Amino acid sequence: MVTLPHISRVASFDIDAQYTFTPVCPDELPVPEGTAIVEELNCQAALASVRVGSKDAHSPCAIWVATEEHPQFSAVAGEHVDIRWNQHAVPGTRGFELIAGLPHPADYDYFVWKGVEPDMHPYGACYHDLAGKLTTGVIEFLRSRQITTVLVGGLATDYCVRTTVLQLLAAGFQVVVNLGACRGIAAQTVEVAIDEMERCGAIIVSGTAQIRQGPQ
């Protein structure tokens, strides 16, 4: 059981909870049961005073888009990219949208759109680049609200959630990863990601039932 600090010090972070990472968009990057995280995301938000979120927002002309000649997971050259992925999360498409049951981006306290540049493909929501130099502002926003603990959920556990968690830990936040509000791409990489997050200091829980509300 995790006991939170005063609610004024707690934030909830919805990471890339978009249809692009669900079976609703089978040709993009579908994560099994990706749409099943909404209830837990909303439950963890009820334990926080601040709710922040992020979305992938990618150009259909991005240099990392997979092709027949250069399939998914193959390496791609560039300072701010690493491997190729299926085209996904293009603004204006269904995949770009947040999963039904979540707030509109304008109703979050802070929201990040990432990967807009066609030659950049960040995973974490705290920096626009892979090197962690160009901030998205979310760390600074959380600090401005005197947040000390961040409850995290989203898609996918083994990529964008993992990287965002490591970025938040490096910034000095206590991070609680709510696996009930996460789903991953593959069991093996999810296991590796959970182990790494835990070794770096994250608290791992299976759901909000394991989180005790702090003083009001």
The per-residue pLDDT for 200 is 98
- Cα 168–Cα 64–Cα 129 angle in degrees, nearest 5: 30
Joined tokens for residue 164: 């965002």
pLDDT in tens, 138-150: 999 999 999 999 9
**Segment (H or E) for 20:** none
Residue type, 168: L
Query: CA 32, CA 153: separation in Å to the nearest integer?
Result: 15
Task: Tell me the Cα Rg of the chain.
Answer: 16
Whether the predicted model's global pTM rises above the 0.95 cut: yes
DSSP per-residue letters across 49-67: SEEEEEEE---TT-TTB--
Distance between CA 203 and CA 211 in Å, rounded? Answer: 11
pLDDT, tens digit (0-9, with 9 covering 90-100), for 74-121 = 999 999 999 999 999 999 999 999 999 999 999 999 999 999 999 999
Max CA separation in the chain (angstroms): 57
pLDDT averaged over the chain?
Answer: 97
pLDDT digits (tens, 9 = 90+) for 108-132: 999 999 999 999 999 999 999 999 9
- pLDDT for the residue numbered 39: 98
Confidence of residue 215 (pLDDT cuts 50, 70, 90): confident
Q: CA 176, CA 12: separation in Å to the nearest integer?
A: 9
Strand partners of residue 177:
152, 204
Can you tell me the distance from the alpha carbon of 181 to that of 198, in angstroms, rounded to the nearest whole number?
A: 17
- At 213, the pLDDT band (50, 70, 90 cuts) reads confident
- Across residues 165-179, what is the average pLDDT? 98
pLDDT of residue 214 exceeding 90: no
* 211-216 average pLDDT score: 82
16-25 pLDDT, tens per residue?
999 999 999 9
Amino acid at site 68? E
